[in-house]
Structure 1
Amino acid sequence: MRVMLKATLDTEKANELLRSGKMAEQVKGILDRLQPEAAYFGPIGGRRTMVLVLHMQDSSEVPPVGEPFFTHMNAQVEMCPVMNAEDLQKGLSQLG
């Protein structure tokens, strides 16, 4: 299942990671591990935010996917299922 993850970073923790030079390493590690189909970064609501689109086979993947954002970045994390245009067309064709 395609999932959109939005991680809103804690400002103080993100500042600490930037000052220590560890932010790039943390982000690279997350991207290498999760292998998202898309990754976007920018200020949303005035806070540093990452939006990733990734695939999950099972809901048991939620803890290992979300935990690095909580433990390393004190992030607020939201996940929700999403569709691309092809998925939407497939779903709509099943409505009869």
Structure 2
Amino acid sequence: MRVLMTVQFDTEKANRAIKDESMGATVRSALEHLKPEAAYFGAKDGLRTAFIVFDLQNPTRIPSAAEPFFQELGARISLIPVMDFNDVQAGLQAYGSG
């Protein structure tokens, strides 16, 4: 299932990680593990935020996806299922024929 993981970094922990140059390595390692379809970075609610779309093949992957951000950067994380337009079309067709 495709999910959008929103990762909001704790400002103090992120500041320290930027200064000690560990933030890039932490994020890079997490992204290599997730193999995202897309990853974008910006600000949300006044916090540094990553928006990561990836395939959550099994719910048991949630801890391994989230823990690096929790442990290393004190992040707040949300996961929501998302669809691309083709998925929406297929779902609407299935609904209409049901």
TM above 0.5, yes or no, is yes
Could you say which residue in structure 2 is the equivalent of 1:41?
41
Q: CA RMSD in A?
A: 0.7
Q: Distance in 2 between matches of 1:32 and 1:26?
A: 10
Give the letter for the 1:54 counterpart: F
TM-score (norm 1): 0.96
Could you say which residue in structure 2 is the equivalent of 1:67?
67
After TM superposition, give the deviation of residue 85 of structure 1 in Å. Answer: 0.4
Q: Distance in 1 between matches of 2:38 and 2:77?
A: 17
Q: Runs of 5+ in structure 2 lacking a partner?
A: none
Give the letter for the 1:49 counterpart: T
Could you say which residue in structure 1 is the equivalent of 2:93?
93
Q: Runs of 5+ in structure 1 lacking a partner?
A: none
Structure 2 SS opposite 1:94: helix
Could you say which residue in structure 2 is the equivalent of 1:25?
25
TM-score (norm 2): 0.94
After TM superposition, give the deviation of residue 9 of structure 1 in Å. Answer: 0.2
Identity of aligned residues (%): 41
Q: Distance in 1 between matches of 2:57 and 2:66?
A: 15
How many aligned positions are there?
A: 96
The reply to whether residue 52 of structure 1 matches residue 61 of structure 2 is no
Q: Which runs of structure 1 show a deviation greater than 6 angstroms over 4 or more consecutive aligned residues?
A: none
Could you say which residue in structure 1 is the equivalent of 2:2?
2
